[in-house]
Amino acid sequence: MNASSASQPSPQTVLDPALMAAAAEWARQDPDDDDRAVLEAEITAAQDGDGAAAASLASRFAGPLAFGTAGLRAEEGPGPARMNRAVVRRTAAGLAAHLLGRLDGAGRPPRVVVGYDARRGSKTFALDSAAVFTAAGLETILLPSALPTPVLAFAVRHTGADAGVMVTASHNPPTDNGYKVYLGGRMTDEAGRGAQITAPSDQEIAACIDHRAPLDSIPLAEDGWTVADRGIAASYRLAACRVLHPEKTAHRRLNVVYTPLHGVGSAVLPDLFEDAGFERPYTVPEQAEPDPAFPTVAFPNPEEPGAMDLALAAARERGADLVIANDPDADRLALAVPVPAVEGAAGSSGDWRMLTGDEVGVLLGRHLMGRLRPAGGVVANSVVSSRLLSRVAAEEEVPHETTLTGFKWISRVPGLGFGYEEALGYCTAPETVRDKDGMTAALVAAELAAELADQGRTLLDELDEIALRYGVTATGQLSVRVADLALLESMMTRLRLDPPTTLAGHPVVETVDLDQGYRSLPGTDALMYVSADDSRVIVRPSGTEPKLKCYLEVVRPVTAAAELPRVRADAAEALAELSGSIGAALGH
């Protein structure tokens, strides 16, 4: 089939009366003028034989957007498979019904707090949610402006709310938006207050959402909700500062360059650093203000190539000590550090490098362990993250837990004092924010960097020390993106039926189907392989994107500082070979 014929839907698709009727009815009810205009134009074009328009309609009406443990996340636009005002109103009505059903007769009505970021539809979706919640009889608190996700997670606990909603698509493309739900108050136990929803709450909420409800059947209040005082951000900052050591305030001299990547972190982080006694960071001016188009980056994620270029250029120009980046809703943290010039090496002038999520995780965790040990605090990381933190914790005599992927699990670890996930997520103050928080984590990173600087050392020196004690640990990922979600299941089935027997030339000594559970972990759709040289691969379908993720880890012993460059080069080469091996096993 050639490309031209492949792009043309069949006549049955173009003229499908059920599809066209559904689209026409959606356009009739759609409360958003722009979305309605888009849909009406596509309907007309499809009726005129435009195959692209018909294909777009079929995609928009492929089924209702599924509500799960990540809430909702999709491209903005009209139709039940997109993020829009109709979907948000129906979802809000379903969440309200769930809260009312669970708290009926509990005294006061359910309390819910609603936040939003600076993406295109976020404020409108938040206002629609507040109107639905208030009309349903919920006590509703709306955050006063576009603020980071950690402020909403903080507000759930701070206000004693029974639930929280954050309208955000985090670091997704500019076209996307999302609807993240937290439970608190009387809806969960202490470990879950202010944490993202888990099963069975997601299914229970989903069961209350009527995807076919006429919009005029969902009451909307014109007012009656409370707009939180602008001091909510100051309250968050005050609580966040408690993560720092109260007796080490002198060690806070640091030259920091910061980028919020056109997100809402700039509304909080610079003031937070100033409150904590650090010099106010230099914010990259081209990326300082929220902008839903994210004009200076190809993809609004600090892990993506090019996203940090402006920040690194500013750091070089200003002779900075540290680069800090948040993703657009500021729940993730990325760090970059200067690499010193090699003395005597021709052409060596030093440069900057990004730290991996696992490197930041072990740095922050090790830094906090001295405070956590006396209180019996626990450190944790997800199973797809490096095993290094567990080795450090064992030597430091601090309890360690391994969880399933996602902060909805990490944040619920009993006694949690610090938790992290390799995808730049860190929970450094669970009593303040029971979720990943890129701003309190930035404070802890700055505290560590400043203390080391006073000793004439750097974060890279600290990583060298960790490597000498526990071995060089190299981690990476291989992601296989698919157009058809069914391919994910077929690739996992292929591995289950024909697992690899060697990885990068080393025999596989342990094969674990995590679907059957593993040690203390409940079952999850993932596979783990450990080879004779202690290399590890974990393969799992992504929970938010159409791709298969392979998490790679290589460990190499090292006995002397002089060996570190060679051993790190060997580990990097082994990591590349490991990626090739699992890629071949997947047929990629």
Catalytic residue list? 170
Residues 6+ apart with CB under 8 A from 77: 35, 38, 60, 83, 84
- The pair of three-digit structure tokens given for residue 174, joined into one six-digit string: 């500019």
Cis bond upstream, residue 285 (ω within 30): no
Are the CB atoms for 79 and 26 separated by under 8 Å? yes
Are the CB atoms for 79 and 204 separated by under 8 Å? no
Q: Residue with structure tokens 């995590």? A: 514
- The pair of three-digit structure tokens given for residue 167, joined into one six-digit string: 């309208």
Element (H, E) at 33: helix 33-47
Task: Please tell me whether residue 561 adopts helix, strand or coil conformation.
Answer: helix
577 CB neighbour count, 10 Å cutoff: 16
Are the CB atoms for 221 and 131 separated by under 8 Å? yes
Closest CA to 260 of 271, 248, 269: 269
- CA 355, 356, 362, 367 torsion-angle sign: positive
Q: Residue with structure tokens 């670890």? A: 413
Alpha-carbon separation of residue 96 from 112, 194, 571 (angstroms): 9, 17, 52
In angstroms, the CA 409 to CA 436 distance is 11
Amino acid at 377: G
Question: DSSP assignment of 114-152, as one string?
Answer: EEE-SSTTHHHHHHHHHHHHHHTT-EEEE-SS---HHHH
In angstroms, the CA 308 to CA 104 distance is 49
In angstroms, the CA 557 to CA 547 distance is 33
Amino acid at 250: A
- The pair of three-digit structure tokens given for residue 134, joined into one six-digit string: 């208030």
Q: Residue with structure tokens 């009815």? A: 25
Over the Cα atoms of the chain, what is R_g?
Answer: 25
Are the CB atoms for 394 and 443 separated by under 8 Å? no
Q: For the chain, what percentages of helix, strand and coil (3-state, to nearest 5) are there?
A: 40, 20, 40
- The pair of three-digit structure tokens given for residue 301, joined into one six-digit string: 């994620």
SS3 labels along 432-487: CCCCCCHHHHHHHHHHHHHHHHHCCCCHHHHHHHHHHHHCEEEEEEEEEECCCCHH
Q: What is the DSSP letter of 321?
A: S
In angstroms, the CA 72 to CA 91 distance is 9
Alpha-carbon separation of residue 348 from 45, 336, 344, 464 (angstroms): 60, 19, 8, 20
